[in-house]
Chains A and B, each alone.
Chain A
Amino acid sequence: MATQLIEHAQAEYPKEACGIIGGPPGEAVKVYRLTNVDPDPVMRYNADPKELKRVTDDIYDRDWDVVAIYHSHTHSPAFPSPTDVERAFYPEASYVLVSLMDRQRPDLRAFRIIEGEISEMDVAPRNDGQGRS
């Protein structure tokens, strides 16, 4: 799954890519790419509200959760910015960041952001060897 997120980030470069991962609680099953409609897409993201509705309806209908929200930073590290923290409206979700600061060596890290507090999560290496990098 990390590979899918990095591919999306690379495809949108230099704009920030964004999307949602849905699944049963705590289980990342499906990646939903979303279109970044922020007027400054290189430095910010705001998912297309119409797509967001469609995706969250699908998640609701399956009785799933928004397990994670991901986006890329194209010129800074894979760590939540003050804007990320301020706009972290999904406390149930992990926030996954992909950094393409070095496009040849993408970095991927995951965090919980709850009431302004950032805590990093382990991103377990996958069996296919496509874990953190």
Chain B
Amino acid sequence: MSVEVRIPTILRKHTGGARAVEAKGSTVREVIDQLDRDHPGLRAAILAEDGDMHRFINIYLNDEDVRFSGELETPVSDGDVVSILPAVAGGAAGG
């Protein structure tokens, strides 16, 4: 399955500045693994240290947040769009 992956500005240093790249895989995790082979460093930037989803990095398959559809094991289809989108988060409190 070939999908388009949209890359946020903060991670474009890994893609030579490209806003979107192609990747293959049958699940979101496989797509990210392929991304990391093509653009080393991307997986560590997208996922948490334990290899699961990072609390402040959202991943969407088309319009759906994959947290609600199987997280990294969510299956992808040809022509899907995977979007990596960091959280808009912060606040006055520490920690």
Contact = CB atoms under 8 A, between A and B. Distances in A.
Interface of A: 16, 18, 20, 34, 38, 40, 43-47, 49-50, 52-54, 56-57, 60, 65-66, 69, 71, 73-76, 80-92
Contacts, number: 98
A33 to B, nearest CB: 12
State the majority secondary structure of interface residues on B.
Answer: mixed
B6 A90 contact: no
Contacts of A16: 91-92
18 contacts: A40-B91, A44-B91, A45-B90, A46-B87, A49-B58, A49-B67, A50-B65, A54-B63, A57-B63, A81-B91, A83-B93, A83-B95, A85-B90, A87-B56, A89-B10, A89-B56, A89-B57, A90-B8
Interface bracket on B = 20 to 34
Contacts of A86: 90
Interface of B: 6, 8-10, 19, 56-58, 60, 63, 65, 67, 83, 85-95
